[in-house]
Structure 1
Amino acid sequence: MWKYMYDDHEDFEQLARFVVGFSRRYFDKLNSANMHVRCYNDERFDAPMLITSSDPLTIRTCVTPRRWSQFIYQFSHELVHLSIRFESGYQGETCAIKWLEETICEAYSLFALHCAAKEWNLCPLAFHDPSYGVSINDYLALILADSLGSKVPTCRSYVELEHFNAESDVDRSARWAMRDAVYRSMLLFPSAINALAEYPSYARDNYPLLVNYHLWQGARSGNRIIAELFRVQNRLISPFIHEIDA
């Protein structure tokens, strides 16, 4: 059951329902009748959040009125955090692998903007602003323009990876190239998106900030987005990858 608590901002509720609607095509667990979620917006906060300490789980956005593109971007991001928890059964208070999960969520936020612009005529708000899909595309283009020329970073050691992981929800620009690579894969292989919610199940026992892609790809043979994440991880740890594979 989804409980939308947007008070006087009916437009945010319509946007939330719109995003949940098309996201159900890509994350199977969003179709579950057992999913209980509360959603609200509070512009006094600095960042959106999936509140895991509440019952039910709560998605909080922090958007000022009429910033519809920003709402889609924030809400879809938290929707992926939610899907990962329901798909994998992960119950931790923070992400299992923060650098990876934030990258997946941010890539899907771009994909959600793409979908929202393409399907804007299906949103009830299109009755009031039928051309707003163009504005969504412009918002997406601005985000992508900021990341032009960015490169996948590298960590020289596992200790450096731990620091990179700890800062992943603060220094987001360090992962722009990673985010964009996953976003491009989502555009090409949208049917492969659902498997990304499984990633906590494949965290390595001895290196918990890394995924065992051999096991994951074995379970999801042919998934091209997982293959792209494997390339991203290998690039990230390339200076010390020999230690991991030893």
Structure 2
Amino acid sequence: MSTDQPTVLIVEDELAQREVLAYNLEADGFRVLKAENGEEGLLVVDEQMPDVIVLDWMMPNLSGIEVCRRLKSRTETRSIPIIMLSARSEEVDKVRGLETGADDYVVKPYSVIELVARVRTQLRRSRPSAVGLRLEYGDIVLDAETHRVSRSDQMLKLGPTEFRLLSTFMEKPGRVWSREQLLDRVWGRDIYVDTRTVDVHIGRLRKALTQFGGDDPVRTVRGAGYALG
């Protein structure tokens, strides 16, 4: 499975709405995860770390507002964009949703096409390479659309795995990624790969990035993983 495919988690207790939304997002090229309540939604986030979350406000036991509050209060999940769905159209409710940390607020009944477009908008923030944007870090330029990488205007030769590793690093410079997180993002959860494979490909990426000179921008963080810069 290619992990270039961006992942959306739908947390919605109404089966029909959940399935319609999942169908349309999958048709638009997204990998979709589903949860039917807030507790399950939090578990899925811990296991799979989606790129965008579509979250229903009104759910039994754990409300969408509470799920949003918990996710935005944790460092590791704070940056995941959340689109809140609600039948509440009052301005005060919208303000409350956004104050809790939601990145967007959509009132039911909504247009599925519009919601998919809003998911794409949030994705540009969380995973710019997944929507074909150009990323820059120092003298390194990665063009996600043409799959080309250059450094100081010289084209670099990168294999597909090294390209995905670099785009992951360039989306969040400075962030430390563990080997397990890199395996999930670059190789995919459905594929068994030894964590030492990550080290091998990091070595190849370093070699590619320094083939025309320049410092090695990939940092090894002892006991934690790797980071760019």
Q: TM-score, normalised by structure 1?
A: 0.28
Higher relative contact order (CA 8 A, sep 6+): 1
Q: TM-score, normalised by structure 2?
A: 0.29
**Higher normalized helix content (fraction of residues):** 1
**Higher normalized strand content (fraction of residues):** 2
- Computing the radius of gyration from Cα coordinates, the structure with the larger value is 2
